[in-house]
Copies of this chain bind each other. A is one copy, B any other.
Amino acid sequence: MTETVDVRRRVLEANEAAARLLRERFAARTLVPNLISSPGSGKTTLLEATVQRLAGRLRLAVIEGDIATERDADRLRALGVPAFQILTGGACHLDARQVDRALAEAHFGDLDVLFIENVGNLICPTSYDLGEDFKVALLSVTEGDDKPFKYPAIFARAAVTVLTKVDLLPHVTFDLEAVRVQLATLNPTGDVLLTSARTGDGLAEWCALLERRLAAKRSAA
């Protein structure tokens, strides 16, 4: 299996190099959050709610990663936001070179925020830097309160964890305090937001976080 490890190392090194170039391109201009979660945690739904709140004042675009279908990009385009769909054809994560090619094809122009929605997968996308400013891990309350410790890498690395579908808390068993303890253990400096796209809970806080991070990136430049 040494051969497998070597190939994996080289793939990751090539990805790092491509991610560095992307990060230079985005520097001081565009905020790039990389959204990662299980299938069905609500990444696209969070983005729909986000662009409806921010599209008036910020220039936004979305890169969507999926195994199959243009469905997620179509959902964003329906809201008037430019969206480019990457189909990975089976691969369980996006990589930086795919993002680079997507940007070349998409012609988004100048952007304030470029959202990258990764392939629905709580494991594989963790290791692939896409030149993003920060990773956002989503966890829906219907997935259970044991998930941070069961999938520690992503929750340790994500600067922001968004708990989604909190409107369903009355209908499921989910110990919010236990999740907070796991997240604080894995990632003491990370932000944790509670949201519901259905009720709107937490969305203003999420949008404020994006605007604050965009301003901080530009003022640091």
Contact = CB atoms under 8 A, between A and B. Distances in A.
Contacts of A151: 39, 67-68, 120
B150 A120 contact: yes
A18 B13 CA distance: 31
Interface in A44-98: 66-69, 71, 90, 92
Given A39-B144, A121-B121, 17 more contacts: A3-B7, A4-B7, A4-B11, A7-B7, A38-B38, A38-B40, A40-B140, A67-B153, A68-B150, A69-B149, A71-B150, A92-B124, A119-B123, A120-B122, A140-B142, A142-B168, A168-B172
Interface of A: 3-4, 7, 11, 38-41, 66-69, 71, 90, 92, 119-124, 140, 142-144, 146-147, 149-153, 165, 168, 171-172
8 contacts: A4-B11, A7-B7, A38-B120, A40-B144, A68-B151, A69-B146, A120-B151, A168-B168
A117 to B, nearest CB: 12
Nearest to A91: B123
A185 to B, nearest CB: 12
Nearest 9 Cβ contacts at the A-B interface? A40-B143, A142-B142, A92-B123, A38-B38, A38-B39, A40-B144, A7-B7, A39-B122, A69-B150
A7, A165, A168: which has the most chain B beta carbons within 10 Å? A7
B71 A39 contact: no
A121 B119 CA distance: 11
A54 B90 CA distance: 36
